[in-house]
Amino acid sequence: MIAASSEVLNFPILSLLVVLPVIGSIVVALLGGSRPEWIKLAALISSVSTAALSLWLLAAFKSGEAGFQFVSKHDWISQWGISWHLGVDGISLFLIVLTGILFPLVIVGIDPHHNETSYFAWMLLLQAGVMGSFLSLDLFLFFVMFEIVLVPMYFLIGGWGYDQRVYAATKFFLYTMAGSAFMLIGIIATVALAQRDLGVVTFDLVKIAEGANFSTNAARWLFLSFAIAFSVKVPLFPFHTWLPDAHTQAPTGGSVILAGVLLKMGTYGFLRFGVYLFPQAAMWARPAIFTLAVIGIIYGAIAATMQRDLKRLVAYSSVAHLGFIVLGTFALSSQAVTGAVMQMVNHGVSTGALFLLVGMIYERRHTREIAELRGLQHVAPIFAGVFTVVMLSSVGLPGLNGFVGEFLILIGSFGPARWWTVVATVGVVLAALYLLWAYQRVFHGEPDEANSSFKELTLREGLLMSVFLAIIVVSGIYPKPILDRIEPSVVALIEHVEGQTK
């Protein structure tokens, strides 16, 4: 047993998950001038090996254990009590795997059309930042990763986006930075206050969460400072206004990553940092957060219904879906939180896939206006079929992955947040409404001249989508292996919360 675990420790898989994309990014940047034809290959090698590592992690992960596994800890800035401290548990495991898989798919599946070198370099850097955010067990390291993600995303939106890209990129950068400014103060204050209980200055998440004892008032302020950053990132109503712009203007690859993993940094942050560090304050803030989450669900759904732009529609549907995730996170029952974690991954898969499909439509028709599209299922039946499955997964049809998470969230939230849950359920119906209606307008009817030349799914696109479809169907029909890995960590977290709030 001991031998086995030390064997695992010898191979720093988690550090490698962060470092590998960085190396890939540097290699891509260096190759850019001399060997442009190797760039995509280099980016692919880097991202595929990261994906392989993340899958290996999934296989080696011990199901049924609640604590952090594969922990890797090294002093970084010892004077300030900061360490390079990475670990994975059931809550972060699937987000890491999702991050690992999504990037190679985006890299292989979507052409940037211009400036390949910098596009792939930023992409890989982005991956490193996202990986780091999900793996960090050190408050400082987490902040660094959380914040550094802005830079590549800013350049991806600004450099490869659509007409309003500079505006959208700047808005994205400043909004998120403003949110995390408060978190930085919160982190420093957390450490300063925890020092009184712990006796040492440390940014170690676990030590602080287990050892520190904040006064009620201090904990509430600290929780709020974290909550602002995460609410912007999720985004929770009313901090969501950057999202539709960023999504609509971002290139397809950027949108997929943004919806797939970047937004999850907010919901994950709530769970890993907000709730874990300040359980009492989280309980105290619950009613307000429930309310905002439910407003987000309903508002996102209504706004999505009204959109004329297909991509904007999907963006607003994200606001609604993330409302569900936040609702489940703060319900703090093991079912709801497990559902929320599951739903983080599901939303990443299904909304990521939706953005990919919308991107393919735009590639073919150079428009995303719903009114301009008609009757596509006549000319591209396979495309329409794929779209249907992905859409139904997003709606939450039983048998597909979206259902599992949503169902667990609603069941688990009904006890702690009855009336909010009742209202949220309306959002499920609305989701069916706006997505099906959009589908009807785009795919049904007789195609006019412009739409009748709509190209069917190519082989490359088909292979790409089949990965998404496989995940959607398999994890929808047989979610048990996933839930088995998520649940112990969630239960431990809930116990921690209950122990602190008694």
Partner 1 sequence: MNDQIAVFVGPAIDWFSISPLLVLLFGALFLLLVGSLTPQWRRGWYGLTSALTAGTAIILSILLWRDISSSGPKLLVGSALALDHFAVLASIAICSAVLLVSLLTSDYLAGENTDMPEIYSLYLTAAIGGIVMVAANDLIVLFLGLETLSLSLYLLAASNRKRAESQEAGLKYFILGGFASAFFLYGVALTYGATGSTRLVDINSALNSYITVPRNDTLLLLGIGLMLVGFGFKVSLVPFQSWTPDVYQGSPTPVTAFMASAGKVAALVALVRVFVTAFPSRADDWGPAVFVLSALTLVVGSVVAVVQTDVKRMLAYSSISHAGFILVGLEASSHRASPEVGDGLTAIAIYVVLYAALVVGTFSVVTVVAQKSNDGATSLDAFKGIGRNNPVLALAITVLLLAQAGVPLTSGFVAKFGVIQAAVSVGSYELAVIAMVAAVIAAFIYLRIMVSMWLSDSTDSVSVEVPLFSTIAIAIAVAVTLVIGVLPSLLLDLTSDLTQLAIK
The binding site for partner 1 (CB under 8 A) comprises 76-80, 118, 143-145, 147-148, 150-151, 154-155, 158-159, 165-166, 169-170, 173-174, 177-178, 181-182, 184-185, 188-189, 192
Minimum CB distance to partner 1, residue 286 (Å): 24
Gyration radius (Cα) of the chain, Å: 22
Q: Measured from the CB atom, is 172 or 443 closer to partner 1?
A: 172
* Amino acid at position 282, single letter: A
Q: Measured from the CB atom, is 76 or 284 closer to partner 1?
A: 76
Find residue 309's DSSP bridge partners.
Answer: 369
How far apart, in whole angstroms, are the C-alpha atoms of residue 451 and residue 455? 9
Widest distance between CA atoms in the chain: 74
How far apart, in whole angstroms, are the C-alpha atoms of residue 112 and residue 114? 6
How far apart, in whole angstroms, are the C-alpha atoms of residue 246 and residue 223? 27
Q: Measured from the CB atom, is 113 or 308 closer to partner 1?
A: 113
Instruction: Please name the residues in contact with 460: beta carbons below 8 A apart, sequence gap of 6 or more.
Output: 108, 109
Q: Measured from the CB atom, is 204 or 487 closer to partner 1?
A: 204
Minimum CB distance to partner 1, residue 46 (Å): 19
Q: What is the DSSP letter of 444?
A: S
Minimum CB distance to partner 1, residue 362 (Å): 21
Q: Measured from the CB atom, is 8 or 144 closer to partner 1?
A: 144
Q: Measured from the CB atom, is 218 or 302 closer to partner 1?
A: 218
Q: Measured from the CB atom, is 185 or 371 closer to partner 1?
A: 185
Instruction: Please name the residues in contact with 413: beta carbons below 8 A apart, sequence gap of 6 or more.
Output: 327, 328, 331, 333, 336, 420, 421, 424
Tokens 């400072």, located at residue? 225
Closest to 427 measured CA to CA, from 324, 328, 275? 324
Instruction: Please name the residues in contact with 393: beta carbons below 8 A apart, sequence gap of 6 or more.
Output: 346, 349, 350, 353, 400, 401, 402, 472, 476
Instruction: Please name the residues in contact with 371: beta carbons below 8 A apart, sequence gap of 6 or more.
Output: 308, 441
How far apart, in whole angstroms, are the C-alpha atoms of residue 368 and residue 346? 24
Closest to 456 measured CA to CA, from 385, 379, 390? 379
Q: What is the DSSP letter of 158?
A: H
Return the half-sphere exposure (C-beta side, CA atoms, 13 A cut-off) of residue 476: 25
Q: Measured from the CB atom, is 192 or 288 closer to partner 1?
A: 192
Q: Measured from the CB atom, is 166 or 467 closer to partner 1?
A: 166
